[in-house]
Amino acid sequence: MWDDLIAYLDSVRARDPAPRSRWEILLYPGVLALGLHRVAHWLFEAEMFFLARFVNHFSRFLTAIDIHPGAKIGQNLFIDHGFTVIGETAEIGDNVTIYQGVTLGGTNPTNGVAGKRHPTLLDGSIVGSGAQILGPVTIGRRARIGAAAVVTEDVPDGATMVGVKARSTLVSAETYQREFVPYGTPCKDPCEPSPRLDDLEAQIAALKTEIDRLRAEAEPAALPIETDGTRSA
C-alpha cells in the first residue's frame, strides 16, 4: 500500500512541476478528493448509499471537487486544482489528467431509463481546463481535450480536440509521441484559427466591398461646372 502511494505521488510530480516534495502533493485537493472517493466508492459498492453520499459531500466541501460515489476511476488519476464534476456512470482509466473546471456530465436518456450516461476516459487522456465532455462518449487513449472544448461525440485514440463544438486538430508526430502534454493543448498561442472562421472573415470582406459599390452607385454624380462658375442643368 505504501509503495502504491509513493508511485501515485511520483506520477503526479511527473505531470506537475510545482510541488517541492511528496508531502506537498498530499495536500493537493485532487489527491484528497481521489482518496475520499475511494472510500465513498467502496461504500457505494456495498450499497451503503447514504454513507457514500456523506463522504462525497464532505469531500466536495474540502476540495471543491464533486465525484459521484458511483464513478469508476483507475490508477493515477491527477485532478489539478478543483471545481471539477464527475458523474455517476463516468469511467476513468489509468494515468488520466484532468485540469480545473472540467465537467464529465450526463445526458438525459431518450428512453427515460437511467443507464450509462456519462463519459468514459481511456488510459493516458488529458482534459484541459474548462472542458465539458457530455454524454456516454468515449475519449480514446492518449487523446487530448483542449481548454474550454465541448465534446459530445467519441474521440479516437491520440486525437487532440479544440473548440465548440470540439473538432480534431492535426499535431506533429513529435508532439503525439510525447509522454505528457501539459494542459492538453499542443498548439500555437493561441490555437490555430478554424477554417470556418477564415470563411466567415472572407465573406465579411466580400460584403463590405459590395456595400461600398452599391453606395457609390446610389450617390448622384457631380454635375459639370461651366466656365462662368455655374453648374449646368
Q: What is the pLDDT of residue 30?
A: 96
Residue 215 lies in a domain: no
**pLDDT tens digits along 81-139:** 889 999 999 999 999 999 999 999 988 766 556 789 999 999 999 999 999 999 999 99
Tell whether 85 is covered by a domain.
yes
Q: Which residues form the domain of 79?
A: 2-196
Residues 32, 193: Cα–Cα separation, whole Å? 38
**How many structural domains is the chain composed of?**
1
pLDDT digits (tens, 9 = 90+) for 3-55: 899 999 999 999 998 999 999 999 999 999 999 999 999 999 999 999 999 99
* CA pseudo-torsion sign 88, 80, 166, 179: negative
Q: Is residue 152 within 8 Å of residue 167, measured between CB atoms?
A: no
Tell me the CATH number at 147: 2.160.10.10
pTM of the model: 0.73
Question: What kind and span of H or E run contains 23?
Answer: helix 22-25
137 located within any domain? yes
Query: In terms of Cα–Cα distance, which of 133, 139, 187 is closest to 164?
Result: 133
In a domain, 224, yes or no: no
Query: Does residue 223 sit within a domain?
Result: no
Say what the pLDDT of residue 189 is.
46
- Asked, for residue 208, whether it belongs to a domain, the answer is no
C-alpha cell at 215: 453606395
Q: Establish if 201 belongs to a structural domain.
A: no
